[in-house]
Amino acid sequence: MTEATLTAALSDHAPTANRWRFVHVVRRNYLVWRKLIGSALVGHLADPLIWLVGLGFGLGSLLPSIGGLSYMAFLGSGMLCYSVMNSASFEGLWSAFTRLKMQRTWEAILQAPMTVADVVIGEWVWAASKAMLSGIAILLVMALLGLVESFAALWVLPVLLLVGLAFGGLALIVTALAKSYDVFTYYFSLLLMPMMLISGVFFPAEQLPKIVHYIAQIFPLVHATQLTRGLVVGTPLDNIPLHTFVLVIYAVASVVVAIWLVERRLAK
Amino acid sequence: MLSVSNLNKRYGDLDVVKNLSFDVPSGQCFGLLGPNGAGKTTTLRCCLGHTKPDSGTIRLAGLPVPERAREARMRVGVVPQFDTLDPDFTVTENLIVYGRYFGLSKRECLARVPKLLDFAGLTDKANARIEELSGGMKRRLTLARAMINDPAVLFLDEPTTGLDPQARHLVWDRLKMLLNEGRTIVLTTHFMDEAQRLCDRVAIIDHGTLITEDAPRALIEREIEPVVVEVYGEGVEEWFNEHAHAHSSRAELAGDTAFCYCRDPEPLMKTLESKPELRALRRAANLEDVFLKLTGRDLRD
């Protein structure tokens, strides 16, 4: 084959080379997940159910209602965000790092006609999709317990996707910079756990000193819980554009930075 | 098929690739040889568009790299130095999932799988998990995976490192099949017998610079005397100082062995007759001798 006909053949290939290439990466991760479906479903369903029922009944029976809301309803709507955050972070940290460093999966993908952006966006979308499953599982449990107000609660699904994208993107930034798994423990213990405590997941953030309350506004989780709680159990919803805007900014900015960092890391 | 001119790449203060140029015509097997750290892998990475050179131009499969590297890789297969197979998938699944990255449908991949498994000698292992495969099988599967898009050019980074002789010969055999089909191969290796066996042309690089480039046989004829006598045993140093330089065009003592390169070994062999304690091995010069002459015997770690 001469180079001229080769170039011609290549331009014929152009249609397959579009911006949806990241789907191949999502699909690869989905196929692996499907193989481990048993443990995956236990993680998605049993785990939040035990937390919700355990904490909700145990602790909830000791507590008065919170702003007219039963503790179970308060906790459930917080757990929705918390478990999406957890699941997206775990996927973007430990699992993505395994594919980057241990299994060299990304390296293999990049030998094909794929780019770093395709790989990182694929991981980002996958982390958020998988995290949404955790959210949907809790939503189902809450519906079964009669805690969901109406079908309007389904509006929470796009919010959960945004939460997953925001935390998935942040996790991928940490992964791009990580030398080993150790740093992930710091990220979880020193950033995500404190963030959870000041963002109104398990108790109303208003309990905390004003200054802490303001600091919490910088982080995405408080905006996620505000939106989610309003949509699912009907607490007053205000500042919808602001909450959404913060989540969108976190989601988009984090993935852009993650792509840049992974490009830098792999170009060496 | 691949053309590299005036390639430069520096990391910090270190010139990893310096003004490197070479051409690989279609259908040839081209070997990049050099000691560890010579810049072989960096050169390959530049050719595939994974590392951006500081200067120089590269054309791969008719396209400029790195600008259109992604499209060029549509027609390229790569066997990396380290195992990158997907441990969560079976042998067949590895091929299908990889084919998707080239935009191939599952149906198209499945149609290609039996031929690829046959090529890799893995038909019996179609549904085996990766951890069940031996090192040689993994390398052959990686080669089969690199063929999923029916590439015109194959890049192999040390394709037989870590394999036993049986496995190496099988890989060589498969690479020869690919060359017979008219494909182009670019490989790096530090096994000189491998390069001599497979490559139409080899380039020897060291410290990022091209030292020489030619057909292996031509290099041996041009760069080195045709016969090598290796001498070792009790008192080799004494014998070396007395006779080696007198009867060979070039001689060196490396550890306990004297290497004497000569056109006519007879006078040298005569000096050994009275020294039964010395053992001598007389052989034809090979690519390894050329390599050691040009890059030296110092360790590169």
Tokens of A10: 């290549």
A17 at B interface, C-beta within 8 A? yes
Residue B237 is predicted with a pLDDT of 83
A103 at B interface, C-beta within 8 A? yes
Which ipTM score applies to this complex?
0.89
- Calpha distance B25→B138 (Å, rounded): 29
A16 → chain B, closest CA residue: B103
Which residues of chain B are modeled with pLDDT < 50? none
- Calpha distance B279→B264 (Å, rounded): 19
Residue A205 is predicted with a pLDDT of 83
Give the residue-averaged pLDDT of A185-205. Answer: 92
- Calpha distance B104→B150 (Å, rounded): 11
Q: How many helices (H) and strands (E) does chain A have?
A: 14, 0
Which amino acid would we find at residue B49? G
Interval A69-105: pLDDT, tens: 888 889 988 999 999 999 999 999 999 999 999 999 9
With 0-12 CB in 10 A as exposed, 13-18 as middle and 19+ as buried, what is B24?
buried
Residue B301 is predicted with a pLDDT of 62
Which amino acid would we find at residue B276? P
**pTM for the full model?**
0.90
With 0-12 CB in 10 A as exposed, 13-18 as middle and 19+ as buried, what is A170?
buried
Count how many pairs of residues, chain A against chain B, have C-beta atoms within 8 Å. Answer: 94
Q: What is the mean pLDDT of chain A?
A: 88
Record: contact B70-A114, CB cut-off 8 A = yes
Give the residue-averaged pLDDT of A214-235. Answer: 92
A216 or B265, higher pLDDT: A216
Residue A233 is predicted with a pLDDT of 87
Record: contact A108-B97, CB cut-off 8 A = no
pLDDT for A142 beyond 90: no
Residue A5 is predicted with a pLDDT of 47
Give the residue-averaged pLDDT of A118-135. Answer: 95
Tokens of B63: 């396209």
How close are the terminal C-alpha atoms of chain B, in Å?
Answer: 33
Residue A2 is predicted with a pLDDT of 46
A4 at B interface, C-beta within 8 A? yes
Q: Provide the H-helix boundaries in chain B.
A: 40-48, 69-72, 91-100, 106-120, 135-146, 165-180, 192-198, 216-223, 236-239, 245-247, 266-273, 287-295
Residue A17 is predicted with a pLDDT of 47
Which amino acid would we find at residue B300? R
Residue B27 is predicted with a pLDDT of 94
Interval A57-71: pLDDT, tens: 888 888 888 878 888
